[in-house]
Amino acid sequence: MATQITQIDNAESGLTTLRVEGDLLPDDARVIESIAIDIRSETGNQVLIDLADLDFLDSDTAPLLKRLDEREGVEIQGVEIFLQSMINQVERNGRR
């Protein structure tokens, strides 16, 4: 299934949610990263990436999501257990 990204802006809270559905592969994660960085720089909003409706998360995508979380301050929610296990695996393998 193709990746679908829906942007939901909440002006009151200063939060933009990017709801991601479908399969998340590295190229898709790079697009999401670019969108999130642009949103932060253009609006000043905090960015939340909602992965609850994701069907597939490629293992090569985990380092990209980790970088978004750690370096860009983007919050990620929706697949916490799966994502945390992938992040742990990446850390063990020393991939960045």
Give the pLDDT confidence of 4-25 residue by residue, as tens digits. 999 999 989 999 999 999 999 9
Tens digit of each residue's pLDDT (9 = 90 or more) over 25-59? 999 999 999 999 999 999 999 999 999 888 888 87
Q: Please give the full DSSP string across the chain, using - where no structure is assigned.
A: ---EEEEEEETTTTEEEEEEEEEE-HHHHHHHHHHHHHHHHHH--EEEEEEEEEEEE-GGGHHHHHHHHHHS--EEES-HHHHHHHHHHHHHHT--
Assign 82 a pLDDT band (cuts: 50, 70, 90).
low
For residue 48, give both structure tokens: 């939340």
Structure pTM?
A: 0.80
CATH architecture of the domain formed by 4-93: 2-Layer Sandwich (3.30)
